[in-house]
Amino acid sequence: MYFAEGTGKTIEKAIENALFELKATREDVDIKIINEGGLFKKAKVVVTISEDAREKYEKRNGKKAEEKTVVEVKEEKVQVEPVIEEKPAKKEPKVKKEPVKKVENEVDEDEEDEEVEKPVKTVDPEEFLKNFFEKAGKTVTIEVTEDENYRTYHVDGEDLGEMIGHRGECFYAISRLLAAVVGKQDKKLLLDIGQYREKRKESLTQLALRTASKVAKTGRYQKLEPMNPSDRRIIHTALQSDDRVTTLSKGTEPHRYVIVFPKEYDER
């Protein structure tokens, strides 16, 4: 389950209830306000696991998913067997040919899956990035750093602005391409081009702090521009320990945005 509804006397309480049900943290979710509540109404929100945070929740629920898949396959086999036995007399040749074709198709699909998976497992991320930027006419150097959870590929060189694009559009597209080509690794892969990731994080953190100070001073909420899930998470993380304000995500992709408002606003 990737979403949960939460209700409470305030929006903040409703969020806490939904997070408890999902067993998730605020920085891993997007939040949609259904009802802000009032004197006689409870606040209501829908909390959804962010797309870029679903992998670790999928791992948590992976075993249950596998068990369900095995059960479904067994049920399909039980349904198929009696169909073959019901028509042995009149259409023996057709009955014999149909399962043979199905088996051949299944084998072909498995072979195709294996052929797709093999190159994915053997693709080296660093080699892929070197070839990619070379084809784009860029001379770059690549440095790899690691921590407990992430392996980051730092790409540096001249004239890399067009590889980042307006508001990082190209940067995020290349990041998604790298993840798709390389597939699952022992650690999550991160891409940084021309130190864009660090600069973007610093810029958004400063924006979050300035916005929080303005909201706390005026007592009025502030709506930020639409952002991708990674950028929204930076805003949420930067302000999660700020006792003056609360952050919420609202809207639909790709126009989803963050609202920063004073905590006392919950009780109005």
Per-residue pLDDT of the chain (268 residues; tens, 9 = 90+): 677 888 888 888 888 888 888 777 877 778 888 877 766 678 888 888 877 777 777 777 664 544 444 444 344 444 444 444 444 555 555 544 444 444 344 334 334 444 444 444 568 999 999 999 999 999 999 999 998 888 999 999 988 988 998 878 899 899 889 888 888 888 888 899 998 888 889 999 999 999 999 999 999 999 999 988 888 999 999 999 999 999 999 998 888 999 999 987 544 4
CA distance 245 to 239: 7
Boundary-marking domain end, from 152, 168, 194: 194
Measured CA distances, 5 to 14, 19, 117 (Å): 8, 9, 38
Expressed as residue numbers, the domain containing 110 is 71-122
Which of 122, 139, 163 lies at the terminal end of a domain, its last residue?
122
Report yes or no on 40 lying in a domain: yes
Please provide the size of the chain in residues: 268
Quote the CA–CA distance of 246 and 128 in Å, as a whole number: 41
**Considering only CA atoms, which of 99, 43, 61 is closest in space to residue 69?**
61
Residue 48 · residue 2 · CB < 8 Å? yes
Report the number of distinct structural domains present in the chain.
Answer: 3
Instruction: Judge whether 6 and 45 are in contact, CB under 8 Å.
Output: yes
DSSP state of 52: G
User: In terms of domains, do 116 and 129 share one?
Assistant: no
